[in-house]
Chains A and B, each alone.
Chain A
Amino acid sequence: MNLRELEPGTGQRKVGEVILAVEGVALAFGGVKALSDVSFDVREHEIRAIIGPNGAGKSSMLNVLNGVYRPQQGRITFRGETRSHMDPHRSAELGIARTFQSLALFKGMSVLDNILAGRNLMMKCNLLLQALRVGPALREEIEHRRRVEEIIDFLEIQHVRKTPVGRLPYGLQKRVDLGRALAAEPRVLLLDEPMAGMNVEEKQDMSRFILDVNDEFGTTIVLIEHDMGVVMDLSDRIVVLDYGRKIADGTPDEVRASQAVIDAYLGVKH
């Protein structure tokens, strides 16, 4: 039973046109082929999951989507523009944000600063104004602070906003990572195993956050996750990767029934 259908009052959320698509993407590191001929699309406002056994290339796919890795082949289309590879800075400018499997938080800074850093692209004041911190620079700082506080409220981390992130427990650090991605007000949010290492309660909280983000802000979400229950409950459509290839693509029910997927996860008798 998919939570998307159950959510009352949000039935008006419409899944839109294709906003992000990859075609024939191949990625290799030396001799290791991480991805081979992967093609799929993501529609606006949907929650798309990428699943697959370990080593299937899921994180690599995400890294290709926002330009951390450059594929040897293939094309990426985002918001109508097609290119052979993304550039991390450009993808941020265009509205893609992400979280990381290994967190990649700025350990030396507080929660507030980490999330504020996510808004860096929107801060326009130049060096001199910042140095004097008057007028436009001050107003800008305060305005962005306000928006970041909204995100902090949303993620319920007010009590640790001034703590250096290195001191926080893992679950809270994950929320800060999400907050930093949300701060950019992205069109597409890439989440790399957001529930890794969490207990049941924390997973419920995180699921709720993800659903709320998708509902309230209409953010398209591409999600890598291992917990099948979460994946089946949250997503509109799923892509299944195995050894760098796409083996299934469809709604949760379709994927659940696919023989190829069952074989990949449970193994095939030789």
Chain B
Amino acid sequence: MIYRETGQFKTTYASDQQLFPILQDRVFVIGLLAFAFVAVPFLATDYLFRAILTPFLILSLAALGLNILVGYCGQVSLGTGGFMAVGAYAAYNFAVRVPQLDLLVVFILAGLCAALVGVVFGVPSLRIKGFYLAVATLAAQFFIDWAFARIAWFTNDTPSGSVSAPPLEFFGYLVHGPQEKYLLVLAIVSVAALVARNLTRGAIGRSWMATRDMDVAAEVIGIRPLTAKLTAFAVSSFFVGMAGALWAFVYLGSWEPLAFDVNRSFQLLFMVIIGGLGSILGSFLGAAFIVILPLVLNQLPTALGIPLSTAMISHIEFMVFGALIVFFLIVEPRGLARLWAIGKEKLRLWPFPH
């Protein structure tokens, strides 16, 4: 009953194609954004910002990028960590070597660098598909790992190998404190989500999905697989690169290449699978899940009175992740986003049974 669409007639294509055609959706999203921007800064604790909200938002951005590549365009990538690293180090180099640039510009440039690298490593996708491509993207991951660890120029010749981000200054305003960092990241991610949604709704999104579903037929109707796949790599890597820059600058502060290793790639892939392939909402849900789960697993044993070592907890985390992946793939391969959609379907009828 709550979610019924009756009475909502669309008289123009424009209104039918708007972002949230159903009124209840619009209300919900606007409410959520208002809550996130206005209420949360006052309600949340520092810990909540630092440990949950900020990392969740940044990883959502990375998951969004990966989802575009894997979910919308069907190109499996295990090199996402590497592209995040490209964004982080690119941002570092721009910020340190060209200090006049505003940080927002730096982040965008970092994204563009990552996009470029993404396109280069995406070229093989024209010949290689499926898990072959996954292994090929591992080449990107390990090579990038090595490059940032060994080539001193990238780290501005820091002897220790770990670099620190400069203070976050945007148009003269210094962002400091968990609250402000949260708002910064929230703003960037909201815009990014809108852009991603526009792209996936548009011609380019359709070309991605067509390439994913049946690339021979796509070619026959005039969609060049080259263009579709490389734009997917480019756009995806742009988002992932920006996320990498944000992760390094806003969340970590100082970092080394290990922050972006192959485990990060797997983590992001899990987010996308659990959240839902081919869904913007799914990227957020998956990220939330993966960010919250370790915290829950950490607290649960003490809450239940069972003492477990940190090592044991991390092993159990692995087990739970693995089991959940398999569980989701069997039960709902379309992930949490699908469960959400099913929930909305049920809301159409609730409280009536049918």
Say yes or no for A163: interface residue by CB 8 A criterion: no
Using Cβ atoms and an 8 Å threshold, which residues of chain B touch A55?
Answer: none
Q: How far is the CA of A261 from the CA of B207 in the complex (A)?
A: 43
| Chain A positions 144 through 165: 1 when the CB is less than 8 Å from some CB of chain B, otherwise 0 | 0110010000000000000000
Q: Beyond the given A88-B216, A105-B217, A132-B198, could you list 20 further A-B residue pairs with CB under 8 A, ordered by the A residue number? A: A89-B219, A92-B222, A93-B222, A98-B220, A100-B217, A104-B214, A105-B213, A106-B213, A106-B217, A107-B214, A117-B223, A120-B206, A120-B221, A120-B223, A123-B203, A127-B199, A131-B195, A133-B202, A145-B13, A149-B13
Using Cβ atoms and an 8 Å threshold, which residues of chain B touch A120?
Answer: 203, 206-207, 210, 221-223
Using Cβ atoms and an 8 Å threshold, which residues of chain B touch A100?
Answer: 217
Q: How far is the CA of A131 from the CA of B203 in the complex (A)?
A: 10
Q: How far is the CA of A109 from the CA of B209 in the complex (A)?
A: 7
Q: Do A108 and B13 touch (CB < 8 A)?
A: no
Using Cβ atoms and an 8 Å threshold, which residues of chain B touch A98?
Answer: 220
Say yes or no for A36: interface residue by CB 8 A criterion: no
Q: How far is the CA of A155 from the CA of B322 in the complex (A)?
A: 47
Q: How far is the CA of A109 from the CA of B201 in the complex (A)?
A: 11
Q: Could you list some 12 contacts between A and B, CB below 8 A? A: A89-B222, A107-B214, A108-B209, A113-B206, A116-B206, A120-B223, A125-B203, A130-B204, A131-B199, A133-B202, A142-B13, A142-B14
Q: Do B220 and A92 touch (CB < 8 A)?
A: yes
Of A92, A137, A149, A181, the most chain B CB neighbours within 10 A belong to: A92
**Nearest A residue to B212, CB-CB:** A108
| Chain A positions 247 through 266: 1 when the CB is less than 8 Å from some CB of chain B, otherwise 0 | 00000000000000000000
Given A89-B222, A138-B14, A180-B221, A130 and B198 contact (CB-CB distance below 8 Å) = yes
Q: How far is the CA of A76 from the CA of B202 in the complex (A)?
A: 35
Using Cβ atoms and an 8 Å threshold, which residues of chain B touch A42?
Answer: none
In chain B, positions 120-146 with a C-beta closer than 8 Å to chain A are none
Taking a contact as CB atoms closer than 8 A, the residue among A92, A97, A117, A127 that contacts B206 in the complex is: A117
Of B13, B203, B216, B223, the most chain A CB neighbours within 10 A belong to: B203
In chain B, positions 209-246 with a C-beta closer than 8 Å to chain A are 209-210, 212-214, 216-224, 231, 235
Of A104, A109, A121, A133, the most chain B CB neighbours within 10 A belong to: A133
Say yes or no for A66: interface residue by CB 8 A criterion: yes
Q: Do A117 and B207 touch (CB < 8 A)?
A: yes
Q: Do B221 and A92 touch (CB < 8 A)?
A: yes
Say yes or no for B278: interface residue by CB 8 A criterion: yes
| Chain A positions 33 through 67: 1 when the CB is less than 8 Å from some CB of chain B, otherwise 0 | 00000000000000000000000000000000011
Q: Which residues of A contact B (CB under 8 A)?
A: 66-68, 88-89, 91-93, 97-98, 100, 104-109, 113, 116-118, 120-121, 123, 125, 127, 130-133, 137-138, 140-142, 145-146, 149, 180-181, 184
**Nearest A residue to B220, CB-CB:** A88
Say yes or no for B17: interface residue by CB 8 A criterion: yes
Q: Do A131 and B217 touch (CB < 8 A)?
A: no
Given A123-B203, A127-B204, A127-B235, A88 and B214 contact (CB-CB distance below 8 Å) = no
Of B213, B221, B235, the most chain A CB neighbours within 10 A belong to: B221
Given A127-B231, A145-B13, A108 and B213 contact (CB-CB distance below 8 Å) = yes
Q: Which residues of B contact A (CB under 8 A)?
A: 13-14, 17, 195, 198-199, 201-204, 206-207, 209-210, 212-214, 216-224, 231, 235, 278
Using Cβ atoms and an 8 Å threshold, which residues of chain A touch B231?
Answer: 127
**Nearest B residue to A118, CB-CB:** B221
Q: Do B220 and A109 touch (CB < 8 A)?
A: no
Q: How far is the CA of A121 from the CA of B201 in the complex (A)?
A: 16
Interchain nearest-CB distance for A103 vs B (Å):
9
Using Cβ atoms and an 8 Å threshold, which residues of chain B touch A132?
Answer: 195, 198
Interchain nearest-CB distance for B259 vs A (Å):
29
Using Cβ atoms and an 8 Å threshold, which residues of chain B touch A108?
Answer: 209, 212-213, 278
**Nearest A residue to B221, CB-CB:** A118
Q: How far is the CA of A109 from the CA of B203 in the complex (A)?
A: 13
Top 7 closest A-B pairs, CB basis? A92-B222, A104-B217, A121-B222, A123-B203, A106-B213, A133-B198, A130-B202
Q: Do A137 and B202 touch (CB < 8 A)?
A: yes
Using Cβ atoms and an 8 Å threshold, which residues of chain B touch A180?
Answer: 221
Given A68-B216, A92-B220, A130 and B206 contact (CB-CB distance below 8 Å) = no
Interchain nearest-CB distance for A97 vs B (Å):
7
Q: Do A107 and B213 touch (CB < 8 A)?
A: yes
Given A108-B209, A109-B209, A130 and B219 contact (CB-CB distance below 8 Å) = no
Given A97-B221, A117-B221, A184-B222, A131 and B198 contact (CB-CB distance below 8 Å) = yes
Q: How far is the CA of A56 from the CA of B223 in the complex (A)?
A: 30
Using Cβ atoms and an 8 Å threshold, which residues of chain B touch A113?
Answer: 206, 209
Q: How far is the CA of A207 from the CA of B213 in the complex (A)?
A: 29
Interchain nearest-CB distance for A190 vs B (Å):
9
Interchain nearest-CB distance for B337 vs A (Å):
13
Using Cβ atoms and an 8 Å threshold, which residues of chain B touch A88?
Answer: 216, 219-220
Q: How far is the CA of A121 from the CA of B219 in the complex (A)?
A: 11
Q: Do A106 and B207 touch (CB < 8 A)?
A: no
Q: How far is the CA of A100 from the CA of B221 in the complex (A)?
A: 12
Q: Do A109 and B206 touch (CB < 8 A)?
A: yes
Taking a contact as CB atoms closer than 8 A, the residue among A130, A141, A142, A184 that contacts B221 in the complex is: A184
Q: How far is the CA of A131 from the CA of B199 in the complex (A)?
A: 5
Q: How far is the CA of A149 from the CA of B17 in the complex (A)?
A: 13
Q: Do B13 and A109 touch (CB < 8 A)?
A: no
